[in-house]
Structures are given as C-alpha cells and as structure tokens.
Amino acid sequence: MERTIKLDALQTLMQARQDVIVFDVRRKADYDADNQKISGAMWLDPEKVGQWCTALPHDKQIVVYCVRGGSVSNLVLDTLLGKGFKARFIEGGIEAWKSNGGQTVAK
C-alpha cells in the first residue's frame, strides 16, 4: 500500500462510503488556528498517537492529514503502519484539500 492517498482517490472513497476513517492530526496550535476541518474527520493529538492508536479498528482504512502532508503526517503514519494498520496520509495535507475544492466544515 502506498504511504499517500491522492485527493481524488480519497474523495471517491468517502463518496462511496467505503470503510475509511479520516483523522486530523495537525499539531494542536495548527488545529486551533484554523476554523475548518475535512468533513467527517476527527482531530487526534499527534503527540499521543501511541495512546489513541490502540483503540482503532484494524479492518478499516485510516487516512490522516496535517497542514501540508509533511513531518507530522509521516510520524503518525509510521506509528500506525508499525502497529499493522492500513493507513495513508493525504498528499499536501488539508491545504491541498482546500485548494482543490475538497469539502470542509467549521469545527
């Protein structure tokens, strides 16, 4: 499985209501500074990934995103993959999602 998912591929999965869970893993300051999130996404503290990942289902695809799809997403993804999850991160993060017309909602 690729480490990243392209925006259009994620939109297709979400529209088809596939077994995918989307998590916003922006650092708290970045999350607090933006009043938008991807529709249906839940924020989880990337600093505590070792704690919250134990409650995630292994039978669903997991997609994470940070601001631009860089170090934060990669660190969270490495932890998830290391625990056997089917996980990827959004190429370009929420910034790419918004610039390409992806649906966001107010937090």
What does the alpha-carbon distance between residue 80 and residue 64 come to, in Å, rounded to a whole number?
Answer: 10
Q: Where are the domains of the chain?
A: 4-106
* pLDDT, position 35: 93
What does the alpha-carbon distance between residue 56 and residue 39 come to, in Å, rounded to a whole number?
Answer: 19
The mean pLDDT value for 36-61 works out to 95
In this structure, whether the domain defined by 4-106 belongs to CATH 3.40.250.10 is answered with yes
What are the tens digits of pLDDT across the range 75-91? 999 999 999 999 999 99
| Residue with the two structure tokens 């999350």 | 31
| Residue with the two structure tokens 């669903």 | 60
Does the structure show a pLDDT above 90 at 97?
yes
